[in-house]
Chain A
Amino acid sequence: MTTATLSRWNRFRESFLWYSFKRDKVAIVSSIVLLLMVFAAVFAPLFAPTDPYDLAQIDIMNSELPPVGMSGADAAFPLGTDAQGRDMLSTILYGTRVSLLIGFGAVVLQAALGILFGLLAGYLGGRVDSILMRIADVQLSFSTLMVAIIVGAVFKASFGNLMFGEIAIYMLIFIIGVAEWPQIARTVRASVLAEKKKEYVDAAKVMGFRTNRIMFRHILPNTLSPIFVIATVQIANAIISEAALSFLGLGMPETQPSLGSLIKSGFDYIQSGSWWITLIPGLVLVVLVLVINLLGDWLRDVMNPRLYKG
């Protein structure tokens, strides 16, 4: 009974979350790597030697230069250049930015849909529940890629290549977000079903609070931990989906490279010995997805209610 009020920061410092983070080397390393990558990607214009979107800075004569350390390398391009003469380091930084943006954006959309439908289904139950969950089942039985291929193809055909390039990023967020919301909706529904049996919900009903208030103010905050865990993993999934779509030519165009389209653009040159155009962005993608997944695993362990009683 020392001080009555603890600041939020102190509360966090004393929390189990922080304690287990400090003791988990994998989590620490993963989050440092992730933070560095996010930081570098967000501030890409500051770090990148050149701007890959600026055609004036590109010289076709510099195409397919190998990374530093190999014969024929140019010190101005530490990671070499691609087939169009763009600096690989700059393109990767900008590409990571696009990939992360799509990943976060898609998950925000997924979470918004998933939380809303999951809350409604879990709390109202009955017919609302049956209908929403059947929609979710149908949605899940289409693979994300299939939906994306169809929607992407339709978009491409109706808007034309140029226009498509401009809206590609929103389209990808939309497709991946819509295709994957049932994952989050199911998680939310399951925890709502557990929470709504608890007496604090009865207490809120007895107070006369309206359904919306009970759902969003009382139940939702208590279902956030599992949402947090699954959202982390879903970011990694969304980034992979984006890469896969771009690789198939249905994602980001080469003029606005994401990690996926970078890999694709280099793929044609592997045979001619320019492996770095594919391999380096590929490695970045693997590392990015890996650290997000490792963090997700750690979060799941920490937030497991059987281990941690809040």
Chain B
Amino acid sequence: MTSPLVDIRGLEKRFDLSGSFLEQITFKGGRFQRKQEAVHAINGVDLQVQKGEALCVVGESGCGKSTVARTVMGLLSPSAGEVHYGGQRIDNLKGGDVLPYRRKMQMIFQNPYASLNPRMTIQQTLEEPIHFHRPELARSEVREKVQEVMQSVGIDPEWGSRFGHEFSGGQRQRIAIARALAVDPEFIVADEPISALDVSIQAQVLNLLMEAQETRNLTYLFITHDLAVVEHFGTRVAVMYLGRVCELAETKTLFAEPRHPYTQALLSAIPRLEDDRPNYIRLQGEVPTPVNLPSGCVFHGRCPYANERCRQEIPRLIVTDGGSQVACHAVEEGRL
């Protein structure tokens, strides 16, 4: 196996909730106590993105999938762990050292209504990154480049002098994609890029992303909550729950034979057109808060197969005979 393009190792991210030192002090039971609280958004995630693939990260809100995306892109710095790109560690780079990676790695955001600067025309939005990263290009070359990306995402280059708010949601997302493509990246993190769009527009944008992948040889880290999209789009899928990866498999394998009890429940909950009633695996309880993580397997409180070992020992990802990697004691022990 070739070395991965992006290698995420033991990634952890905590968000401090307790504020400054003074705010942490509480007076309880006759004595002062220092109380520190944090949201444990990611708790030890290892993922490798291979060149040319679309690795999808799925999970429900609060599972840490967006935090993974933002940490990989350097918008957040990890609390622990490393992010490597093409063999080079990038999460600790400073100042100008990051710039080459900014060109190679780009991001597409969820909300097309917020991701375009309302005070800039489309032309300005698209020209700025090119000017910035390739100052050697002449004006006319930059303009040509902008025309080329606009055409490739299906936006008429004539509309360059318009502002973002003059476009529909789908068109704005196309422009946001064009901005990412303008600097010729190799790797794109797409954070829920279609979930704010209408059904018929989702298909257009998904097709556009697949087309760009083929023509530009892109690698995707695709964050979504929509499993139906994953089934269609992903090469491999990582299912996350409470900041951990619970199952990682080839898309076909995962959908044909989900192993982790959480993956099974998640898959059963997709509303399918052929269903006449909602039929799904019902989980007990609710997702615990990431402030106080459960001991052992984070899923044990809701899992129908949980036993004493699950409550105490954190399961590790193990390779099953089907080829998928599952973090579950029940699967490991053959109970499931």
- Chain A interfacial positions (CB closer than 8 Å to B): 4-6, 198-200, 202-209, 218, 221-222, 309-310
Contacts and interface: CB of A to CB of B under 8 A. Distances in A.
B115 A200 contact: yes
Contacts of B165: 309-310
B81 interface: no
Nearest to B164: A200
B119 A202 contact: no
A69 B117 CA distance: 60
B119 A222 contact: yes
A5 B159 CA distance: 8
A198 B103 CA distance: 21
B99 A208 contact: yes
Contact of A206 (B102, B117, B118, B161): B102
A5 B179 contact: no
Nearest to B176: A203
Among B98, B115, B183, chain A packs the most CB atoms within 10 A around the CB of B115
* Cβ-closest 9 pairs across A and B: A208-B102, A199-B115, A221-B119, A199-B109, A4-B158, A198-B114, A200-B117, A199-B114, A206-B107
B110 A206 contact: no
B297 interface: no
B129 A207 contact: yes
B98 A208 contact: yes
Interface string B102-140: 110111011100111111100000001100110000000
Contact of B179 (A4, A203, A209): A203
Nearest to B106: A206
26 contacts: A4-B162, A5-B161, A198-B115, A199-B109, A199-B114, A200-B116, A202-B75, A202-B107, A202-B109, A203-B109, A203-B115, A206-B73, A206-B74, A206-B75, A207-B102, A207-B128, A207-B129, A208-B132, A208-B133, A209-B128, A218-B120, A221-B117, A221-B120, A222-B117, A222-B119, A309-B165
Contacts of A203: 107, 109, 115, 176, 179
Contacts of B161: 4-6
Contacts of A222: 117-119
B43 to A, nearest CB: 23
A218 B98 contact: no
Size band of the B side of the interface? 20 to 34
Among A203, A221, A310, the one with the most B-chain Cβ atoms within 10 Å of its Cβ is A203
B159 A218 contact: no
A11 to B, nearest CB: 9
A207 B75 contact: no
Contacts of B74: 205-206
B321 to A, nearest CB: 40
A4 B150 CA distance: 15
A222 B161 CA distance: 18
A218 B102 contact: no
Which of A6, A198, A199, A309 has the most CB atoms of chain B within a 10 A radius of its CB? A199
Nearest to A218: B117
Contacts of B73: 206
Contacts of A6: 161
Nearest to A219: B117
Contacts of A310: 118, 165
A150 to B, nearest CB: 34
Nearest to A197: B114
A198 B165 CA distance: 15
A204 B132 CA distance: 11
Interface string B152-186: 00001011011001000000000010010001000
Given A207-B129, A221-B120, 11 more contacts: A4-B161, A199-B110, A203-B176, A206-B74, A206-B102, A206-B105, A208-B132, A208-B133, A222-B119, A309-B165, A310-B118
Nearest to A223: B119
A14 to B, nearest CB: 11
A204 B105 CA distance: 13
Given A4-B161, A5-B161, A207-B102, A200 B114 contact: yes
B287 to A, nearest CB: 24
Residue of B117, B129, B159 with most partner-chain A CB within 10 A: B117
A206 B187 CA distance: 12
A207 B128 CA distance: 9
